């Protein structure tokens, strides 16, 4: 089977089926691919999952450094959009990992659309800041531990109707004075960065 067909087959798998690929299956595929095809494979599966699959038995033990972008989506009332994650039932912001070869602006536009159905444009994004370090460490129910380097953007111009995907079980706009309790927040440090940004502008 040629590599184009292999990539198409991987694309047609469910997310869970992609996560269940064995190291041996991945090795067999990648040994016949060039760097462009491996990059495409990574972007189909998603970089963090792809990286962990390459770790074989150590995949949930390996502490991963990952780059990504997140959005403070603000409505006309000044409220911010938060989503309740299905994996840990904590409230966070729309965002996710950068794909290989992707610019951060493209990452946040893509993630906002995938997770909320809202359409933002690169030219309307406003950079709030870049966050890294211990406040960006995340431990997930499956044992994964990651340190996120996160580029945070303000999205106050967008189109589309709100609709969430399989990563969320709820999504709504909150007043800054009436957010979910801090211990139930996934991105409290990002929201604090936004509050500081508001105070400076």
Write the pLDDT tens digit of every residue in 14-41. 989 999 999 999 999 999 999 999 999 9
Q: Which two tokens stand for residue 140?
A: 């997930």
Tokens coding 118: 């809202």
**Lookup: tokens for 66:** 């990952």
**Please, what is the end-to-end C-alpha distance for the chain in angstroms?**
57
Q: Domain 64-200 falls in which CATH fold?
A: Nucleoside Triphosphate Pyrophosphohydrolase (3.90.79)
Strand partners, 65: 147
R_g over Cα of the chain: 18
How many CB atoms lie under 10 A from the CB of residue 183? 7
3-state helix, strand, coil in the chain (%, to 5): 40, 25, 35
Boundaries of every domain in the chain = 3-58, 64-200
pLDDT above 70: residue 71: yes
Task: Give pLDDT tens digits for 89-115.
Answer: 889 999 999 999 999 999 999 999 999
**What is the three-class DSSP state of 147?**
strand
Q: What is the pTM of this model?
A: 0.87
């Amino acid at each position: 089977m040629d590599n184009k067909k292999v990539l198409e087959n991987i694309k047609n798998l469910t997310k869970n089926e992609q996560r269940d690929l064995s190291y041996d299956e991945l090795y067999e595929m990648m040994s016949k691919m060039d760097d462009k095809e491996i990059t495409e494979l990574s972007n189909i599966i998603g970089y963090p999952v792809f990286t962990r699959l390459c770790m074989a038995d150590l995949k949930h033990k390996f502490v991963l450094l990952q780059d990504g972008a997140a959005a403070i989506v603000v409505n006309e009332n000044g409220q911010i959009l938060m989503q309740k994650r299905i994996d840990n039932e904590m409230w966070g912001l729309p965002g996710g990992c950068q794909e290989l070869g992707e610019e951060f602006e493209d990452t946040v536009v893509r993630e906002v659309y995938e997770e909320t159905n809202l359409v933002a444009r690169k030219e309307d994004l406003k950079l709030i800041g870049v966050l890294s370090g211990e406040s960006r460490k995340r431990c997930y129910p499956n044992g994964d531990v990651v340190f996120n380097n996160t580029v945070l953007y303000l999205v106050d111009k967008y189109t589309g109707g709100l609709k969430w995907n399989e990563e969320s079980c709820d999504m709504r706009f909150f007043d800054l004075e009436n957010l979910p309790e801090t211990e139930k927040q996934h991105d409290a440090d990002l929201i604090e960065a936004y509050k500081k940004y508001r105070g400076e502008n």
